[in-house]
Structure 1
Amino acid sequence: MDDPYKALGLTKSASQDEIKKAYRKIAKTDHPDLNPDPAAAERFKAASAAYDLLKDPDQRARFDAGEIDATGQERAQQRYYRDFAERGDNPYRQYSSAGYGDFSDVFDDLFGGRAGGGMGGNTSGGFEGFRRSGAGQGFDMRGQDMRFDLDVDFMTAAKGGSTRIVLPGGDALEVQIPEGAEDGQTIRLRGKGGPGYGKGAAGDAYLTLHVSPHPDWRRDGNDVTTTLPITIDEAVLGGKVEVPTLDGAVSMNLPRGASSGQKLRLKGKGIKGGNQYVELKVVLPPQVDDELAEFMRKWREDHAYDARGRKGG
């Protein structure tokens, strides 16, 4: 992914709200759980990486300024070393005319030729994090940023909570999952990345969340939908029924003459004040006895109707 805006079908002038809407649109059509096409999976993967980069205004500004690339990695800042070498108060300035050119060449010698291209790999600290710690005493450098994937269950993402993880170094950490966390969202853990060098600060750890689907709930932004089975007499007569919500069961008025597929709204019962939609499903009794069958036969004689909407002619 070279252009995150293109991956979302946008241009650099897009607002933060347009970026979020574009990602949601792609997720609805190309998420692997919804679309088995491998090409759709690749589009979703690219869109997720793009959204991860652009949803943070500060990170987006750094990308637009050319400070980081489309993966969030630091770009090589060659002028940084040249400017450093040319400062009048720089004690190393005397060496800038002794065959080195600029200080990127010095870092080439020290770090195996990597100065021109940054740290590489899964990092974003880069050589911009270097600073002189005294003549002949080496350098300080910020530690590498590290990226991980974290599986989160549906309810924890919806309601918020915490989960315990163990970082590669063996440190156990309790991670707070914010209420309404979305699939593909990234959580930043300051100072939990790679250790710094010299006096450099530790890098950050970034956790990309992967929200597991739930057998009983479907999510669209902050709105959720669940299916409620109802009996044939409840469908005909209506009345009060008990409905599960994210925060526990509530009583809901069922209208008379309800049909399968009909949706009822519970305002504010979704995620972070969103709505919950209850999709009705009429379920016949396990066994149709003679009494019910005879009743329906008599009822049909005078009340038959066309449920499939067939037209004559």
Structure 2
Amino acid sequence: MSWDPYATLGVSRSATADEIRRAYRALAKELHPDVRPGDKAAEDRFKKATAAFNMLSDPTTKARFDRGEIDADGNERMAFNARPRQGARAHAGAGAGPGAGPGAGAGGDAFDLGDIFSDLFGPGFGSSRGYSRMRGRDIRFTLEVDFLDAINGARKRISLAEGRTLDVAIPAGVESGQVLRLKNQGGAGVQGGPAGDALVELSVKPHAFFRREGQDVHMDLNISLTEAVEGGKVQAPTPTGNVTLTVPAGSNTGKTLRLKGKGVAGQGDQFVRLQVVLPEIPDEDLKKFVKKWPRRDYTPPRPGG
């Protein structure tokens, strides 16, 4: 469950910009690592309070959090193009979140954390210290990828809420659940700190007829009775395009043919399982032939037989 920046600062959701700033000043004066050196718990609370202040002192991120569009870590709750990811759904917001930059008060007046620390501890304190210069928050997306793009690789351009776009390179052979890290594409740093990263979790959509098993690709291919009995050449789709497949004479449903190197990213193979399909409309000539077929009493092997 995401943490609550209001509770972290000890203010209500109706708190004004001045109340938020005063609450943060009080916590900073109490918890700053230079005031309580070696106190890891106090340092962690100070960092959390700073993240909460940056979230709530910026009118844009505060409004988006209040509307439920992002959580306290800046992760999107709105659907980007995919299913939910642990309660949050990715869409955009690369600049949102607690690490999105120095806060701004009502009307857009900037709050400088260095100024706050100088007020509390004296001139020159804070802006040159590592604790006010903080790395921006990572943001997370769930991106749906077409099956063939996951097999062969692709480039996708995604649009973010702030109007920015990101070009995402999808490596060949990726699977659902894999996470791509885009360096420095997350929330902006605080007081000149480095930006966070964008973490893109991939969700591969199923294909209409291809199935993936490890590095191999499987599919069923319908063939006619004539092709099954006499054999012949048929067109078979692969992840990289159609190929000509030779069907051996006397092929039954279930016979599987292998296409070497036609699997995932050219590493695995493609396996084509043949399915003999009769015409949907009854064929009178075929019925007459079967009645005269010398081996019409032939019974194929059956389970339990």
Normalising TM by the smaller chain, what interval?
0.5 to 0.7
TM superposition shift of 1:169: 3.0
Q: Distance in 2 between the 1:293 and 1:109 partners?
A: 84
Are residues 1:137 and 2:126 paired? yes
8 A Cα contact 1:150 1:209, kept in partner: yes
Gaps of 5+ in 2: 1-31, 53-70, 76-96, 100-116
Q: Where do 1:111-150 residues align within 5 Å?
A: 112=49, 121-122=72-73, 135-138=124-127, 139-150=132-143
Q: Out of 182, 197, 211, which is 2:175 matched to?
A: 182
TM superposition shift of 1:199: 2.0
TM superposition shift of 1:211: 0.7
Distance 1:290 1:122, change over 3 A: same
Q: Which residue of 2 aligns with 1:295?
A: 289
What's the secondary structure of 2:241's corresponding residue? coil
TM-score (norm 1): 0.59
Q: Distance in 2 between the 1:126 and 1:104 partners?
A: 19
TM superposition shift of 1:108: 4.5
Per-residue Cα deviation, 1:43-89 (whole angstroms, up to 9, x for no partner): xxxxxxxxxxxxxxxxxxxxxxxxxxxxxxxxxxxxxxxxx97xxxx
TM superposition shift of 1:176: 1.0
Q: Where do 1:145-184 residues align within 5 Å?
A: 145-184=138-177
8 A Cα contact 2:157 2:166, kept in partner: yes
The Cα RMSD (Å) is 3.6
TM superposition shift of 1:233: 0.8
Q: Distance in 1 between the 2:170 and 2:292 partners?
A: 58
8 A Cα contact 1:107 1:114, kept in partner: no
Are residues 1:244 and 2:181 paired? no
Are residues 1:195 and 2:188 paired? yes
Q: State percent identity of aligned pairs.
A: 41
8 A Cα contact 1:190 1:205, kept in partner: yes
8 A Cα contact 2:217 2:264, kept in partner: yes
8 A Cα contact 2:72 2:98, kept in partner: no
Code of the aligned partner of 2:184: G
Q: Which residue of 1 aligns with 2:269?
A: 275
Code of the aligned partner of 2:227: E
Q: Distance in 1 between the 2:215 and 2:303 partners?
A: 38
Distance 1:243 1:178, change over 3 A: same
Are residues 1:259 and 2:252 paired? yes
Q: Which residue of 1 aligns with 2:39?
A: 102
Gaps of 5+ in 1: 1-83, 86-91
Q: Which residue of 1 aligns with 2:66?
A: none
TM superposition shift of 1:163: 1.2
TM superposition shift of 1:104: 5.4
TM superposition shift of 1:287: 2.5
8 A Cα contact 2:142 2:202, kept in partner: yes
Q: Which residue of 1 aligns with 2:210?
A: 217
Code of the aligned partner of 2:287: A
What's the secondary structure of 2:299's corresponding residue? coil
TM-score (norm 2): 0.60
Q: Kindly name which structure, 1 or 2, has the bigger radius of gyration based on alpha carbons.
A: 2
Distance 1:307 1:113, change over 3 A: same
Q: Distance in 2 between the 1:298 and 1:267 partners?
A: 41
Q: Distance in 2 between the 1:216 and 1:103 partners?
A: 55
8 A Cα contact 1:231 1:283, kept in partner: yes
> Hey, which of these two has a bigger chunk of helix by percent?
1
Q: Out of 258, 280, 285, which is 1:286 matched to?
A: 280
Per-residue Cα deviation, 1:22-53 (whole angstroms, up to 9, x for no partner): xxxxxxxxxxxxxxxxxxxxxxxxxxxxxxxx
8 A Cα contact 2:257 2:271, kept in partner: yes
Residue correspondences, number: 212
Q: Distance in 1 between the 2:277 and 2:249 partners?
A: 16
Greater RCO, CA 8 A, separation 6+: 2
Code of the aligned partner of 1:183: S
